[in-house]
Structure 1
Amino acid sequence: MRGSSLLPGLCFLLSLSGVVAQKTKGTCTRCPQNAFCVNATHCTCNHGYNSESREKYFTYRFETCEDIDECKPPTSIHCGVNAECQNTIGSFHCHCVAGYKLLSGKAQFSNSNENTCQKITPSKTTNSTKEMQRIIETIESLLTNKTVLEEKRNITSTVTDILQTVESDVLNTALKAPDQEIQKVQKSTVAVETRVVTDNCSKEVTFSLNAQVNSMEIHCKDVIQGNIQGASAVAFISYSSLGNIINATFFEEMNEKDQVYLKSQVVSAAIGPRKNTPLSQPVILSFQHMKVKPGVKNFCVYWKGTKEGGRWSKDGCALRQENETHTICSSTHLSSFAVLMALHGQEEDPALTVITYVGLSLSLLCLLLAALTFLLCKAIQNTSTSLHLQLSLCLFLAHLLFLTAIDRTENKVLCAVIAGALHYLYLASFTWMLLEGLHLFLTARNLAVVNYSSVNRLMKWLMFPVGYGVPAVIVAISAASRPHLYGTPDRCWLHLDQKFIWAFLGPVCAIICVNFVFFLMVFWILKRKLSSLNSEVSTIRNIKMLTFKATAQLFILGCTWFLGLLQVGPAARVMAYLFTIINSLQGVFIFLVYCLLSQQVQKWFGEIIKSKSESEAYTLSSRFGPDSKPSEVK
């Protein structure tokens, strides 16, 4: 995991070693959507957007850039007579009102200076246009009536029928008025342009049709389909709200790990009177992006009618060109089309991955050795050792489960169980860290006798109910309230939705803060003790060892986790490496501080080595003693 903000930076906390450094691009990566960086210090919204705070330049990371509706006050773009303004995401355009058209035949223009809207010739033209307007108004009312759509059992089947009906009605209306070569009708959410051909393609080779902010190019011969005796027509329809109904969740190649979204309006293309005929060359479709998001993969799709209703499919569609604002597609057949975008998964740094697994494997070995030492070395067995042992066991099981099962996302139920187990084990580890801090503080208060009886009684009473009971209560409440948020598509861990991750982050942050308070209180107590001492060597030695353990305790059991907060800006990569190395080696630090640097453990290790050496020497002496006879060589 890598993160470009505070919460992703804390994600190492969540999975202990799943953080991977973000390939930072300076402070520009911290600007919100629809904004860009200025002088590497401030952000400003793109043209056509305003910041929520209405400040032109800002540094607040949670600022948002909202679309400016140029067609409403205070901007109120004036398009001229017989024209009206149409707002789009990040921009706007002007178009002639119904019954008028531009002299150029274009569908839209930018300002009143380009207004050449003229009234369309009456008679058959008026009747045809009215019929086209009636069709558009009907489909608009149907698509905006959520109650009617929700009553349908199969929404995709309903939408498929609607699309086919609109295409047929629009084509039939256009063919009824062959003397009107071009018809354009636009309402608030639906726009249509039709082109009638009666001259066997003698004027133009390729037709360009526009509807709202999208366009289509089709070869004239594909429109007439060899029909040289009668009229043929092509229709291009754009729906600005249909994408809310048949969104990216209906993409047939989508799986749970994909993050796919609709990026454009839905358009339809059809030819008549004959339909579903093959094209001699691909039709070209140009889409303006409704969502401008860099670093995503765009692909072209069409609405594929099926027995079940319909799905988005890539068959026969190809992406030809793309930039920040537009995507150009080609298709070998006519249907309804759109552009989907897939968010790029965060790329993992191979070096950090290696460090994570090597560090955790080494920690597993050291935690196992530490647990065996705490169990077998009788010289150090006391309340403090019991705390070290439980901490080591919890961390060992958590690391082992993380290494072997964090990516087992195939089975949802199993993944949720793994996520719950990791949640419990890591919370238990932090709870034992808290008990370590509490015991250190109580020991400092009773420095004259390290294993002071009241301290032991209190810790023995608190240890197991708190160490294993408190995490169990937290996990039980979390699982009961939101069981579906255990397990993500990528990892068996807590989901970030609904702020569920705070079921882990909240207790962890509280424990780290409390341990830091314990640390400060220990140092204050030790300083006061030192000033009141005479020159007792044993007491001074105890104080030095306790001071060292207090420093190591804070470093091991808390402070290093806050490196995750520093994974922002230019130093994010360095912080991620430090964070991963230090925290993945936590088991090594525990074994080093509590075992290898303990004089009692060193003495115990020495006795084991000495007894083993004496045993080997005895075996050799008994085998080659003074009474033994060497074998004779024959």
Structure 2
Amino acid sequence: MGAKIQNLSQPIEIQYSNVDKKGANASCMSWDGNSTDANGKSLWITDGCQTVETNNSITCQCTHLTFFAILMSPTPANISTSDVNTLTYITSIGCGLSLFFLIVGLFMHVLVRKGKASEATKILMNLFVAMLILNLSFLTNESISNLGIKGACVAIAAVLHYGMLATFTWFFMQALHLYLSLRRICTEVKHYMLKICITGWVIPAVVVIALLASQKYNSININTNEGKAATMCWISDAGIHQGVNIGYYAVVFVFTLSVFILTVRQIVLMPKAGKAQDNSSIKSNTSTILSLFLLLGITWAFAFFSYGPLLIASYYIFTILNSFQGKSKTVTVS
């Protein structure tokens, strides 16, 4: 009794017939009572088991004895291990470079421009701080998750979420300032920058505090189609994640895109009131439009396309554009 039977030369086969996957991925897994997640719960693992699918039947070939089960996961949630590794590599490089250039940009502002900074520059520096929080917390997230300390995991998840929502909010604030500038309203608002700053930092904090109070932050698994999983500290409820984050950014996106279109229209129509554009002015206008596209965070909208056949492509486009965003913004304003 209590003997461990493992590393069998002839795998044990367990067959399940008439399995209705309903579009999900099936993985043969075994119960590992010796390993635990961040919550102290034992894990289902794929070690020592292979999954063989034939028509409506699934055969589990395992080289050890324990409790076995077939676990289903939605197809969109699973991507290949190679894609996960590549995306992680791109993200780490991008966030690292963004972090460096954001710090340089903030340092230059404090050292050189602080005394004579315009309202637009002050708003941009607040965005830099929000993005710095986002990048730093993201880069340290997995390491903290692997520690298995629930309190630390909840804390870094909350900081990461706050950094992301604050970044979204400051995209909105930039678009709002641009709109008010076009309408020449800024100078008429009392305590303008104070109101902008309070709104930009307090609204994300309210959302994060609400989720902390309802205990929605925890360690989650990112599964691949090979049954392997990486962990990170984030919102544990997928419905809350979709509703809060996608909904929050959707509101920001509608407004920033509207202001972007309005501004581009004004840039394009401006030469008609005077002389025709030359090559230098066309290049200048194109550069201005691309800068606005980045500064207003419109690239985050690629998250809306992460479904169906566009899933993997949208992941790569989203990762490349947004992980290097801090570098792009610093270069744009320098």
TM exceeds 0.5? yes
What's the CA shift string for 1:1-42, capped at 9, x where partnerless?
xxxxxxxxxxxxxxxxxxxxxxxxxxxxxxxxxxxxxxxxxx
Distance between the aligned counterparts of 2:191 and 2:283, measured in 1? Answer: 25
| Partner residue, 2:37 | none
1:501 CA drift (Å): 3.5
1:285 CA drift (Å): 7.1
More helix as a share of residues: 2
| Partner residue, 1:398 | 134
1:555 CA drift (Å): 3.3
In the TM superposition, what are the counterparts of 1:187-202 in structure 2 within 5 Å?
none
Secondary structure at the counterpart of residue 28 of structure 2: strand
| Residues 291/550 of structure 1: CA separation in 2 closer, same or farther (3 Å cut) | same
In the TM superposition, what are the counterparts of 1:26-45 in structure 2 within 5 Å?
none
Aligned length: 287
What's the CA shift string for 1:537-578, capped at 9, x where partnerless?
xxxx8x997885454223343331222333445554443322
Distance between the aligned counterparts of 2:51 and 2:332, measured in 1? Answer: 61
| Residues 446/572 of structure 1: CA separation in 2 closer, same or farther (3 Å cut) | same
Kindly indicate whether the alpha-carbon contact (under 8 Å) linking 2:28 and 2:60 is maintained by their aligned counterparts in 1.
Answer: no
| Partner residue, 1:517 | 258
1:284 CA drift (Å): 8.7
TM-score (norm: length of structure 2): 0.70
TM-score (norm: length of structure 1): 0.39
| Partner residue, 2:88 | 353
Please tell me the root mean square deviation across aligned C-alpha atoms, in Å. 4.1
What's the CA shift string for 1:260-309, capped at 9, x where partnerless?
xxxxxxxxxxxxxxxxxxxxxxx9976535554774332689xxxxxxxx
| Residues 445/491 of structure 1: CA separation in 2 closer, same or farther (3 Å cut) | same
Letter in 1 for 2:167: S
In the TM superposition, what are the counterparts of 1:234-633 in structure 2 within 5 Å?
287-292=16-21, 295-298=25-28, 323=54, 324-325=56-57, 327=59, 340-343=69-72, 346-348=79-81, 349=83, 350-378=85-113, 381-409=117-145, 410-446=148-184, 453-454=187-188, 457=190, 459-480=192-213, 482-489=214-221, 490-526=231-267, 530-532=271-273, 548-549=287-288, 551-568=290-307, 570=309, 572-595=311-334
| Partner residue, 1:90 | none
| Partner residue, 2:38 | none
| Residues 415/347 of structure 1: CA separation in 2 closer, same or farther (3 Å cut) | farther
Secondary structure at the counterpart of residue 27 of structure 2: strand
In the TM superposition, what are the counterparts of 1:192-231 in structure 2 within 5 Å?
none
Letter in 1 for 2:69: L
Distance between the aligned counterparts of 1:326 and 1:359, measured in 2? Answer: 41
Kindly indicate whether the alpha-carbon contact (under 8 Å) linking 1:367 and 1:591 is maintained by their aligned counterparts in 2.
Answer: yes
| Residues 574/467 of structure 1: CA separation in 2 closer, same or farther (3 Å cut) | same
Kindly indicate whether the alpha-carbon contact (under 8 Å) linking 2:141 and 2:157 is maintained by their aligned counterparts in 1.
Answer: no
| Residues 443/341 of structure 1: CA separation in 2 closer, same or farther (3 Å cut) | same
1:520 CA drift (Å): 2.2
Question: 5+ unaligned residues in a row in structure 1: which ranges?
Answer: 1-282, 302-310, 536-540, 596-634
| Residues 365/391 of structure 1: CA separation in 2 closer, same or farther (3 Å cut) | same
Secondary structure at the counterpart of residue 469 of structure 1: helix
Identity %: 23
Distance between the aligned counterparts of 2:51 and 2:155, measured in 1? Answer: 45
Distance between the aligned counterparts of 1:557 and 1:436, measured in 2? Answer: 7
| Residues 501/321 of structure 1: CA separation in 2 closer, same or farther (3 Å cut) | closer
Bigger relative contact order, structure 1 or 2, given CA contacts below 8 A and separation 6+? 2
Distance between the aligned counterparts of 2:13 and 2:93, measured in 1? Answer: 52
Question: 5+ unaligned residues in a row in structure 2: which ranges?
Answer: 1-11, 32-41, 222-230
Secondary structure at the counterpart of residue 235 of structure 2: coil
Distance between the aligned counterparts of 1:555 and 1:422, measured in 2? Answer: 21
Distance between the aligned counterparts of 1:332 and 1:589, measured in 2? Answer: 52
Kindly indicate whether the alpha-carbon contact (under 8 Å) linking 1:289 and 1:327 is maintained by their aligned counterparts in 2.
Answer: no
| Residues 292/502 of structure 1: CA separation in 2 closer, same or farther (3 Å cut) | closer
Distance between the aligned counterparts of 1:477 and 1:288, measured in 2? Answer: 45
Kindly indicate whether the alpha-carbon contact (under 8 Å) linking 1:287 and 1:339 is maintained by their aligned counterparts in 2.
Answer: no
- When Rg is computed on C-alpha atoms for both structures, the one with the higher figure is 1
Distance between the aligned counterparts of 2:171 and 2:21, measured in 1? Answer: 46
